């Protein structure tokens, strides 16, 4: 008897009823898969169908859609970087370096003018 009748869940996996098309729950939801799901919903596919195919709750694609739209609107508010941005970055770095140098010099002056030895207390090597 080579034709063994599979019953139950094990039989459903090997039968021709389409159980192989069931959503795979182990598959990781990468940003690309989330983006594709959001685009499907935005194109008009029902949210519930997309969620069912991905084996997630309907709240998941809904949340992804909200985050997707929010990030998109935020990117429209910003302007493209230009030469001014590079100059500003370089000048901010220079201001930071100068500020640090100034603070170190003031600290050195304070040590030299303050009470005690200007080079710190040292012990004799004898």
Q: Point out the least confidently predicted range of 3-12, 86-95, 106-115.
A: 3-12
Give percent of the chain above pLDDT 70: 71
Tokens standing for residue 82: 């230009």
CA distance 61 to 46: 11
> Helix 31-42 to helix 59-77 angle, to the nearest 10 degrees?
90
Delimit the domains of the chain by residue range: 20-78, 81-126
Among 68, 30, 41, 37, which residue's Cα sits nearest to residue 54?
37
CB-based burial, 34-71: b 16+ in 10 Å, e otherwise = beebbebbeeeeebeebbeebebeeebbeebbeebeee
The helix, strand and coil proportions of the chain, stated in percent and rounded to the nearest 5, come to 65, 0, 35
Encode pLDDT of 45-89 as tens digits. 999 999 999 999 999 999 999 999 998 888 787 777 788 989 999
- Inform me whether the pLDDT recorded for 91 exceeds 60: yes
Mean pLDDT score of the chain, rounded to an integer? 79
Cβ(38)–Cβ(47) below 8 Å: no
Encode pLDDT of 101-123 as tens digits. 999 999 999 888 875 555 566 67
Q: Answer whether 0.85 is exceeded by the pTM.
A: no
């Amino acid at each position: 008897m080579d034709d063994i009748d599979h019953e139950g869940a094990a039989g459903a996996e090997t039968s021709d009823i389409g159980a192989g098309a069931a959503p795979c729950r182990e598959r990781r939801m990468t940003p690309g898969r989330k983006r594709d799901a959001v685009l499907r919903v935005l194109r008009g596919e029902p949210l519930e169908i997309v969620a069912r195919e991905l084996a997630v709750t309907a709240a998941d694609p809904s949340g992804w859609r909200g985050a997707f739209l929010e990030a998109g609107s935020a990117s429209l508010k910003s302007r493209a970087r230009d030469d001014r941005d590079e100059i500003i970055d370089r000048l901010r770095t220079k201001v930071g370096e100068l500020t640090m140098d100034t603070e170190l010099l003031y600290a050195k002056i304070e040590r030299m003018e303050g009470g005690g030895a200007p080079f710190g207390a040292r012990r004799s090597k004898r």
